[in-house]
Chains A and B, each alone.
Chain A
Amino acid sequence: MRKFSLIWTAALTIALTLSACGNGSKGANGSSSPDNAATSAASGNQSAAKVPIKLWVYPMMNGINGDGTGNPDDWAKEYARQFQAQYPNADISVELLDWAGGTEKIDVAVAAGSPPDLVYTINNFGGVTKYGKLGVLEPIDDYLEQSDWDDYSDAVKGALQYKNKTYMWPWLKMVSAVAVNMDLFKERNATALLPLDRELRDWTFDEFLKAAQATTFSRNGGSNPDVYGTVVWGKDAPFYMYLNGLTNGGNIVNSTFEKATITDKPFEEGLQFTIDLANKHKVAPPGGAGISAMNAKEMFLNQQIAMMPDAPFLLEEAKSAPKPFEIAFVAPPHGANQPTAAWNNVGGFIVFKQQNEEKKKLVMEFARFITNSENSKIVKQIGTFPARNSSGNLYSDDPVMTYFDKLSNYGNSVFSRSFGLVDVGDWEKEIQAMLIGGKKVGDSLATLDGILQKKMQE
């Protein structure tokens, strides 16, 4: 009995402590009624004129300059500090999301009617499409000047809009290529099969298949390969798996986002090539439906895979692999007589609907500040390119990044943006069904087409 009395006492103590802590934290928060504060700002009362702005970012880099020393929200807080120095009425709070549950947090906040003012998003998250469709974003067309448009490449411009309205302040662009383990190609005397001597390092599906076949082998001399030319996976990052539909001349939707084109022959044939790599040609590890993008990367870093699609930061990871190896990047393979195409991703900031006109102007100004040509240069720290051309070539001394920059001009934004129309789970479900032979490519694409049509009509 005495023990239980002790438990009661402990419970009461905790409750009292929490009571104190709870009130303190709330005071520190200071962001419970932003609209009221914004209204006060408009009224001109100097002491209450602070305009609270909520900025949500993901942990992209550590430190004020993104140099790795410090916290993952330091750089954003530093921008907030610099902006507040220029606009003393701005009261910016930075919240750090995480890659695992960040999008869910935004979704809940949107559904509850209290989203942040400004949030970082990237094309393959589908933020512009998803929230643009819901009508919860502020269009930024009135705030973009001609000089801004002139500063963005076509690949960037194509990533900012949903149905002719611009919603994203572009900050960075990244492009994917095919990472090649050169040590494996040298071991198999197969480097001649790679398109390294071509300006864009572009190649056809047939050439890619030959290279993959040459690097699928058993290191131990067994009958089953333990090293594969490439990898086809069913979990996470499905955009890489559908990419061959694009590089074969197809796309998910048309350029105006009015019609699904996923069942068109070029897309279907391109995707069939991806599935054939695993199921017919056997140049990818078996059980692809159960392999995740992370598993694929681990196999690549363990030298069990010769080629896989990925972004340039794989280069650094290869340097610190269990057995470091030489890496090269080439373009994604394309269908015969098709031009090179790449998966293009543009990241930037979207502004959620504002009740107060003055606050909206301030939020837009802050977005412009973060994404201006000087401040955008920080994205070099994460191996990506600033979205603005005026930021200059940050990688003039880096041949790999110079190549990626060149390839980014062939990026297709419609492809990466339209992924947001369909849940990642649906993309994965269909690729898994195709890989286990449960569905033909045409049937899976018809299912996805149905989802796309429905989404576009909503």
Chain B
Amino acid sequence: MAIRRIDGLRLIGFIVLSLAAVTLLFPFYWMALQSFKPPTSAIQTPPDLSWGGLTIANFKKLTADNFIWIWTSNSLIVAAGGMFGNVILCSMAGYSFAKKDFPGKRILFWAIVSIMMTSTQVIMVPLFMQMRDMHLLNTYWALLLPILVSPFAVFLTKQFMHTIPGELIAAAKIDGCSEWRIFWNIIVPISMPVLAMVGIFGFVTQWNDFLWPLLATESRNMRTLQVGLASMQLQNVDYGLVLAGATWTMAPIAALFIAFQRFFVKGITIGAVKG
């Protein structure tokens, strides 16, 4: 009887969660569907959800301008740069904070953590001035340098690596491992779940970033996808173009999510379980 009740509860939970999933996915479905329909369909009330009248005209318009390919590749470079930068540099920083002792460690760590509480907008002007004075504006460096290290990723990797038993490191040292080999052969493999998560979040954050790429770039061929698409929008809104652009932008992220779904789920629980 008790088992049956649990099954019943699980069924209810399944139904509720399924409904929530459908509700959350519906806007994406609507967006993707409307991107294959004439522009007027998007503002129709009640919404046109039929599969009739599909067209690729919006995507033709989107890709008629070759810039879309340049912007997409720029976004890929920036997002991949952010991803690798976060994984490599933040894991090293996280390891140092978790397992090494050096003067000013606590102050430095809390200084990094406090950056997490600073709004991005606050640092935009000084960052812009820095890049301008270094003559890096409108280059990939301007897009990449500020994102290579993320305070959040340092915090996350430190928290995870803190839970790795010190005995493992001590044993490796007794076996004659160098510092580099300890990090490379022991810490990194154990930390794969958190590194995957840091990488994925780094990619997604940089892929979606709008403000800094807007400020840091000048020429159209240096724009990222988000900024480039925004600059295609004239005063009168072309809903078809907007939705095709949104679908185009979302596709790589959706693919990334599907491919690394298990890391996303693991990543979300890292702080709760290991922290």
A and B assemble together: yes
Residues of A within 8 A of B44 (CB): 302, 322
Tell yes or no: A22 within 8 A of B by CB: yes
A25 CA to B97 CA, complexed, in Å: 37
Q: Are A109 and B235 in contact (CB under 8 A)?
A: no
| Given A22-B141, A31-B218, A108-B124; A98-B227 close (CB under 8 Å) | yes
Q: Are B235 and A313 in contact (CB under 8 A)?
A: yes
Q: Are B129 and A112 in contact (CB under 8 A)?
A: yes
| Given A100-B230, A101-B210; A112-B135 close (CB under 8 Å) | no
Residues of B within 8 A of A33 (CB): 135
Interface residues of B in 127-149 (CB under 8 A from A): 128-129, 132, 135-141, 144
| Given A28-B219, A71-B65; A22-B84 close (CB under 8 Å) | no
Q: Are A10 and B84 in contact (CB under 8 A)?
A: yes
Q: Are B88 and A101 in contact (CB under 8 A)?
A: no
Q: Are B88 and A60 in contact (CB under 8 A)?
A: no
Q: Are B214 and A73 in contact (CB under 8 A)?
A: no
Set B87, B128, B211: member contacting A112, Cβ < 8 A: B128
Contact with B along A96-135 (1 / 0, CB 8 A): 1111110011001101111000000000000000000000
Tell yes or no: B232 within 8 A of A by CB: yes
Q: Are B236 and A304 in contact (CB under 8 A)?
A: no
Interface hit among B8-16, B35-43, B107-115, B255-263: B35-43
Interface residues of B in 178-192 (CB under 8 A from A): 184-185, 188-189
| Given A25-B222, A96-B231; A4-B188 close (CB under 8 Å) | yes
Q: Are B232 and A25 in contact (CB under 8 A)?
A: no
Residues of A within 8 A of B232 (CB): 59, 72
Tell yes or no: B272 within 8 A of A by CB: no
Q: Are B77 and A101 in contact (CB under 8 A)?
A: no
Tell yes or no: B45 within 8 A of A by CB: yes
Tell yes or no: A29 within 8 A of B by CB: yes
Residues of A within 8 A of B234 (CB): 59-62, 72
B76 to chain A, nearest CB (A): 10
Interface residues of B in 223-272 (CB under 8 A from A): 227, 230-237
- Residue ID in chain B nearest A226 by CB atoms: B45
B245 to chain A, nearest CB (A): 12
Query: How many residues from B make CB contacts under 8 Å with A?
Result: 49
- Residue ID in chain A nearest B234 by CB atoms: A59
- Residue ID in chain B nearest A302 by CB atoms: B45
Interface residues of A in 37-72 (CB under 8 A from B): 59-62, 71-72
Q: Are B231 and A59 in contact (CB under 8 A)?
A: yes
Tell yes or no: B174 within 8 A of A by CB: no
A17 CA to B188 CA, complexed, in Å: 26
Residues of B within 8 A of A61 (CB): 234
A59 CA to B237 CA, complexed, in Å: 12
A10 CA to B230 CA, complexed, in Å: 31
| Given A18-B77, A60-B235; A109-B128 close (CB under 8 Å) | yes
Set B137, B184, B211, B220: member contacting A29, Cβ < 8 A: B137
Tell yes or no: A374 within 8 A of B by CB: no
Interface residues of B in 66-82 (CB under 8 A from A): 67, 77, 80-81
A16 to chain B, nearest CB (A): 12
Interface residues of A in 278-316 (CB under 8 A from B): 294, 298-299, 301-302, 304, 313, 316
Residues of B within 8 A of A99 (CB): 230, 233, 235
- Residue ID in chain B nearest A21 by CB atoms: B140
Tell yes or no: A446 within 8 A of B by CB: no
Tell yes or no: A321 within 8 A of B by CB: yes
| Given A104-B211, A105-B215; A59-B135 close (CB under 8 Å) | no
Tell yes or no: A93 within 8 A of B by CB: yes
Tell yes or no: B125 within 8 A of A by CB: yes
- Residue ID in chain B nearest A313 by CB atoms: B236
| Given A26-B136, A29-B218; A97-B231 close (CB under 8 Å) | yes
A23 CA to B140 CA, complexed, in Å: 9
A452 CA to B231 CA, complexed, in Å: 33
Tell yes or no: A1 within 8 A of B by CB: yes
A17 CA to B210 CA, complexed, in Å: 23
Q: Which of B140, B185, B232 has the most CB of A within 10 A?
A: B140
| Given A7-B84, A14-B81; A101-B136 close (CB under 8 Å) | no
Interface residues of B in 153-198 (CB under 8 A from A): 184-185, 188-189
A112 CA to B87 CA, complexed, in Å: 32
Q: Are B129 and A113 in contact (CB under 8 A)?
A: yes
- Residue ID in chain A nearest B130 by CB atoms: A112
A304 CA to B44 CA, complexed, in Å: 11
Tell yes or no: A258 within 8 A of B by CB: no
A28 CA to B140 CA, complexed, in Å: 13
- Residue ID in chain B nearest A113 by CB atoms: B129
B218 to chain A, nearest CB (A): 5
Tell yes or no: A320 within 8 A of B by CB: yes
Tell yes or no: A91 within 8 A of B by CB: no
Interface residues of B in 18-65 (CB under 8 A from A): 39-41, 43-45, 65
A433 to chain B, nearest CB (A): 25
Q: Which of A109, A112, A113 has the most CB of B within 10 A?
A: A112
Tell yes or no: A86 within 8 A of B by CB: no
A25 CA to B188 CA, complexed, in Å: 35
Q: Are A14 and B235 in contact (CB under 8 A)?
A: no
17 A-B pairs (CB sep. < 8 Å): A1-B184, A4-B184, A28-B219, A29-B138, A59-B231, A59-B234, A60-B234, A98-B231, A101-B210, A101-B230, A104-B215, A108-B124, A112-B129, A298-B43, A301-B43, A304-B45, A322-B41
Q: Which 5 pairs from chain A and chain B are nearest by CB?
A: A98-B230, A11-B84, A22-B139, A322-B44, A98-B231
> B residues bordering A, Cβ < 8 Å?
39-41, 43-45, 65, 67, 77, 80-81, 84, 87-88, 124-125, 128-129, 132, 135-141, 144, 184-185, 188-189, 210-211, 214-215, 218-222, 227, 230-237
Q: Using A59-B235, A294-B237 as known contacts, list a sample of 17 further A-B pairs with CB atoms less than 8 Å apart, ordered by residue number in A.
A: A10-B84, A14-B84, A21-B77, A22-B136, A22-B139, A25-B139, A25-B219, A26-B136, A32-B135, A59-B233, A93-B219, A99-B230, A100-B233, A105-B214, A298-B43, A301-B43, A317-B236
